[in-house]
Amino acid sequence: APQPGSASSSPHQPTVIICIGMAGSGKTTFMQRLNSHIHTVKAPGYVVNLDPAVAQLPFGANIDIRDTVNYKEVMKQYNLGPNGGILTALNLFTTKFDQVLNLIDKRAPTLDYILLDTPGQIEIFTWSASGTIITDTLAATYPTVVAYIVDTPRSTSPATFMSNMLYAVSILYKTKLPFVLVFNKTDVVDHAFAVEWMTDFEAFQAALEDDESYMGGLVGSMCLVLEEFYKGIRVAGVSAMTGHGVDDFFEKIAEARTEYETEY
Ligand code: GTP
């Protein structure tokens, strides 16, 4: 776990942004957008790709897990399926994470951001020892925040929305890091409905009751959990495709960093 005060004692430290999201949420496109944004505003950044199975990265990564491990070879060698291959590749990479950290440490004084892209299969990062080691190691040294990417057009049904939010809660409680909820693809569907559901409990209840998969009491209890979660959460609506909302996202990241510095 992060050591209290360890991050704020040094003069200049970059903010680590760990991008986590369900497959297809637009994580890679979002990373590309962040990358081009920091170039535009001349904020030096460092990009780490932790997805061994990504076929093509639309941005240059400073550190790429694919340079160290070939997950298809790993699958063959250990007789694994794709998910086992990705997990094992991440584990092998994590055994060398001290070297990665050395590289980052050397560059850190000149950097504003360190961006981490995580595997497309979200649970490989969020529920593995490797994911925890990488997250905790970075968070012990640098102000670290989690950006949880939501596929907004695919979250418009209240039941799906709630599932996605509960997943976000589980990641928040696992990492215990400041959190920015990123509603992506707002060029397709505006995230205003999500903001309404997060701030107006009754509006969400009403939407749920109209949903055919409504499960009464259980849902009511989960809503109470979510209400608590929403209170402390930062929300940004973005379009990774058009770049809309990215300035606001970085403002939320700055707030999250302040939270890290005061609480960790
Ligand atoms: P995995 O690698 O499978 O985890 O996918 P990913 O989460 O990295 O998503 P990716 O960036 O590959 O995007 C998934 C799909 O969503 C692609 O077809 C993108 O073009 C599309 N997409 C991503 N961001 C946006 C957006 O802001 N607006 C729209 N309209 N489409 C988007």
pLDDT band at 19; cut points 50, 70, 90? very high
Q: Lowest-confidence range among 104-113, 166-175, 200-209, 247-256?
A: 200-209
What whole-number distance in Å separates Cα of residue 133 and Cα of residue 190?
Answer: 36
5: alpha, beta or left? (left if phi > 0; alpha if psi -120 to 50): left
| pTM of structure | 0.93
Atom of ligand 1 nearest to the CA of 122: 4
**pLDDT (0 to 100) of residue 220:** 74
Indicate whether 98 pLDDT > 90.
yes
Longest dimension (CA), the chain: 55
The two three-digit tokens of residue 16, written as one number:
């680590």
In DSSP terms, 18 is beta-bridged to 116, 146
Q: What is the ipTM of this complex?
A: 0.96
Cβ-based neighbours of 126, under 8 Å, separated by 6 or more:
20, 170, 171, 174
Does the beta carbon of 32 sit less than 6 angstroms from any atom of ligand 1? no
Q: Mind listing the pLDDT tens digit for each residue in 21-50?
A: 999 999 999 999 999 999 999 999 999 999
**pLDDT (0 to 100) of residue 10:** 54
Does the beta carbon of 187 sit less than 6 angstroms from any atom of ligand 1? yes
Give distance in angstroms: CA of 25 to centre of ligand 1.
6
Does the beta carbon of 241 sit less than 6 angstroms from any atom of ligand 1? yes
Give distance in angstroms: CA of 94 to centre of ligand 1.
26
